[in-house]
Structure 1
Amino acid sequence: MYNVLLIDFDKRSREAFANKINWKHHGFTLQTFENSFSALLSVCKQRHYDMILINLKGSQVHGLDVCKSIRNISSIPILLIGGSKDFQFVRESIRLQVIDYLPAPITLVEFTKTLVSLKQILQKEKINFNLKPSHSLKTSPKRNIADIIDEVKRQVEASLNRHITLKEISDELHYNCCYLGQKFKTYENMTFPEYVLIRRMEKAKYLLSHTDLKIYQVAAEVGFSDLDWFYKKFKAHTGVTASVFRKNTSSSSLSSLVV
């Protein structure tokens, strides 16, 4: 079972999430947070959770503040729900490395599918979400290679909208590029360019599903200046064109989960 902490200051929607979802059936246990924001970080530090679910209903800004505060002490997966498709907000959520974002209105079917998908990610990557200082990698005198690989991946996520090379990252981290490339392939079971392309395609899917950006704007946001090349790579990655993908992932008009 994976432990999920629901941060939701609205009693009705908190109860809806607790009662409408068969959490145990999907391999999760749910705990809700009802106290003040000042007590939140203490709860996150003292207890172990595998994922945090933040309901943005009422205030996206406040929700992002909560997300930022958690990010200062932990890399735990965060699922944001109930916000808008505003591009700047979506961009900020990506920067904070949320594991997924479901804009309102949220349907029961959509949320359940997301839970199943997230469980598969947790199982596949066997993620250990112990709290650690956000800058521990830079301050620690001895850097574990696994931490270095994580830092490489963080830099990739922050640079998906521009050209990024392993040489650039290795120089910044003071590592030999060939050595780092070999270690990256060993840890990720793929080369650095393969990883970057996958992350670009996943971000493109995210933007197509969660924003109203034009396809050429999505292409630019994931580092493609050649739209035809983006179309080719996207179809090779997903099996469908970007326009078809967006159509297939449009929100259905089923009963809403968030009340």
Structure 2
Amino acid sequence: MYNVLLVDPNDFTLHQTTKLIKRLDINFKVTNQTNQYHNVTQLIENHRFSLIVINIKGYNTTGILLCKKIRSKSRIPIILIGGKDDFQLARKALTYQINDYLTEPMREGTLKTSLLAVKKALTINSSYEPNDGPTSTVAVKKNEPSISIIETVKHYVQNDMHQNITLKKISSILHFNCAYLGQKFRLHENMSFNAYLLQQRMEKAKVLLKKTDMKIYEIANEVGYTEIDWFYKKFKQYTGLSSNEYRKKYDYSQAN
């Protein structure tokens, strides 16, 4: 069994998350919980945990400082829960190698995916074997990008697709080596970052061509192309049709 420390200043969501983890029934158990951030250090010193789940919604700065404090003492996996508009906060949290950042309202499937990823990381990084007794605090390799890092990169692409995105720029924001992050991205997605970026831009362009009356130069700008001729070339290479041909084939007025 993987012992979990749950930290949440809100008593209602504290109990709701505890019940949710129990209901998932995937070998994670909330063995200690607290609604006080200042209790966390002592709990870590006095108990053995495999994971810490921290709700920082409404306590953003304090929550990030808590992550920093934990990381000064331990590499124990951390999952943060926060607001859906706090993506900048998630970037900051990643500097302390958190394993995932989940947004409220938290869905059961999302939490399950995150816990399974932590479980996999625990097993890979430490040859961890769950047992019925106290579990040990497991070290996670420093600077090891977890699945959540890759998801953050993908999230960045979705949010900032209209800008000049490069893996180098994202790596700098997330404080990762660019070549290393690129290698991990390829391993996880089975394609390079640049191929993924092109795919996402073209797929969004296809949707906009089919479902809106936006001008083609507006669509090009929306998906990150300031040079319209370059957009034309890439779109035809990707779809086999020009953007005008594609729009005629999938008349947006009929798609709506």
> Normalising by structure 1, what TM-score?
0.56
The C-alpha deviation readout for 1:100-152, integer Å capped at 9, x for no partner, is 111333211111121122212212222676599xxxxxxxxxxxxxxxxx9xx
Query: Matched residues in 2 for 1:74 and 1:19: separation?
Result: 26
Larger Rg: 2
Unaligned runs of 5+ in 1: 133-149, 158-194, 224-229, 248-259
3-state SS, counterpart of residue 113 of structure 1: helix
Q: Map 1:91-170; keep pairs closer than 5 Å.
A: 91-126=91-126, 130=137, 154=142, 157=143
Q: Which of the pair has the greater relative contact order for Cα pairs under 8 Å at 6+ separation?
A: 1
Q: Map 1:231-250; keep pairs closer than 5 Å.
A: 237-239=188-190, 241-242=196-197
Query: Matched residues in 2 for 1:107 and 1:208: separation?
Result: 20
The C-alpha deviation readout for 1:209-248, integer Å capped at 9, x for no partner, is 377233743622126xxxxxx999956751362476799x
- Pick the aligned partner of 1:213 from 157, 160, 164: 160
The total of aligned residue pairs comes to 180
Quick check: 1:78 aligned with 2:26? Answer: no
Query: Matched residues in 2 for 1:243 and 1:202: separation?
Result: 21
Q: 1:13 to 1:235 in 2, by over 3 A?
A: same
CA RMSD, Structure 1 to Structure 2 (Å)? 3.7
Q: Which amino acid aligns with 2:22?
A: N
Unaligned runs of 5+ in 2: 129-135, 173-180, 204-256
Query: Matched residues in 2 for 1:233 and 1:242: separation?
Result: 15
Give the match for residue 13 of structure 1. Answer: 13
Query: Matched residues in 2 for 1:2 and 1:201: separation?
Result: 19
Q: Is the 8 A contact 1:2 1:50 kept in 2?
A: yes
> Normalising by structure 2, what TM-score?
0.57
Q: Map 1:45-56; keep pairs closer than 5 Å.
A: 45-56=45-56
3-state SS, counterpart of residue 75 of structure 1: coil
Q: 1:125 to 1:231 in 2, by over 3 A?
A: closer
3-state SS, counterpart of residue 33 of structure 1: strand
Query: Matched residues in 1 for 2:138 and 2:170: separation?
Result: 31
